[in-house]
Chains A and B, each alone.
Chain A
Amino acid sequence: EDQVTQSPEALRLQEGESSSLNCSYTVSGLRGLFWYRQDPGKGPEFLFTLYSAGEEKEKERLKATLTKKESFLHITAPKPEDSATYLCAVASGSARQLTFGSGTQLTVLP
């Protein structure tokens, strides 16, 4: 059974204070690791898909990396508008659905 664990549960940063969110996973045959952003009252918004260890992707202040056991979402010089819950999910083997972690609630203070 696929398992996804995210840490920390909540993170408060000052504007400009860089940090990283962690997503550790246990799967049988990773087909993809996904990062989403979710704002209150809205559906998850797709950020990145990573497929193999060593892969990195960037979008504005966000950078996602992947190893064989975990993924990191690095946030560089965050702004208050980056405040949201960040979700990590995996797709594995022949499964077509995603298994989600519990999310990290990020708050960036001005």
Chain B
Amino acid sequence: SAVISQKPSRDICQRGTSLTIQCQVDSQVTMMFWYRQQPGQSLTLIATANQGSEATYESGFVIDKFPISRPNLTFSTLTVSNMSPEDSSIYLCSARASSGDGYTFGSGTRLTVV
């Protein structure tokens, strides 16, 4: 299965600033996903990152707040823009391989906004 390197692993940011999270996959994958996991809760899908086209966002998430890039089949970024303390959470990327239904996750980015 694919291996995902996600960085940064954690960051503390000032409100009003932006943070870009990167995910690098060790093989080409058809689909990449970005999730948010708030403390003590399960994973909520933010958006699906499509190579060569705009990301598809879930209800409650908008491109201006969470712009996503997917320049090729092995890399994606998620930016958390104009941050507020409510954005403090763990952000996770995931990838679905071209064959089969295996979904792999990165190690997560723990974001604290102060």
Residues on A facing B (Cβ under 8 Å): 31-32, 34, 36, 41-46, 49, 51, 87, 89, 91, 96-103
Contact = CB atoms under 8 A, between A and B. Distances in A.
Nearest to B103: A98
B107 A43 contact: yes
Interface in B56-107: 92, 94, 96, 101-107
A100 B6 CA distance: 21
B45 A43 contact: no
B17 interface: no
B101 A91 contact: yes
A42 B88 CA distance: 16
A41 B104 contact: no
A43 B92 contact: yes
A45 B43 CA distance: 13
A100 B31 CA distance: 18
A96 B102 contact: no
Interface residues of B, number: 23
Contacts of A96: 31, 48, 96
Contact of B6 (A36, A41, A43, A101): A43
Given A43-B107, A87-B42, A103-B42, A97 B48 contact: yes
Nearest to B30: A96
B103 A34 contact: yes
A44 B96 contact: no
Interface in B12-45: 31, 33, 41-45
Nearest to B9: A41
B96 A101 contact: no
Contacts of B102: 46, 49
